[in-house]
Structure 1
């Protein structure tokens, strides 16, 4: 677990406020991209199965 040093200066606190939403947004975008590619692969697999029938 990464611990911030106890004497936290104002700029550090502001930076952490700014940094956290950016990290969460990046994680959300990454998760959306991964789930989207999985969905695309699933749709492609289903369409291939339909073509085989």
Structure 2
């Protein structure tokens, strides 16, 4: 790889849930994170980490 080139990564994270009948579920793709997260990191989280944290925030 030459200087100035970027590696392009494609990620696909699968999130599955089990819900009781008639449960009003909002898909994780529509999750709105809190304006002030409980914890911040000095780096950007990868897609898996972002989905994991969103799952925890949603209870």
Could you say whether these structures have the same fold, taking a TM-score greater than 0.5 normalized by the shorter chain as the test?
A: no
Q: Which structure has greater helix proportion? A: 1
Which structure is higher in RCO with an 8 Å CA cutoff and minimum separation 6?
Answer: 2
Compute the TM-score of the two structures, normalised by the length of structure 1.
Answer: 0.28
Larger Rg: 1
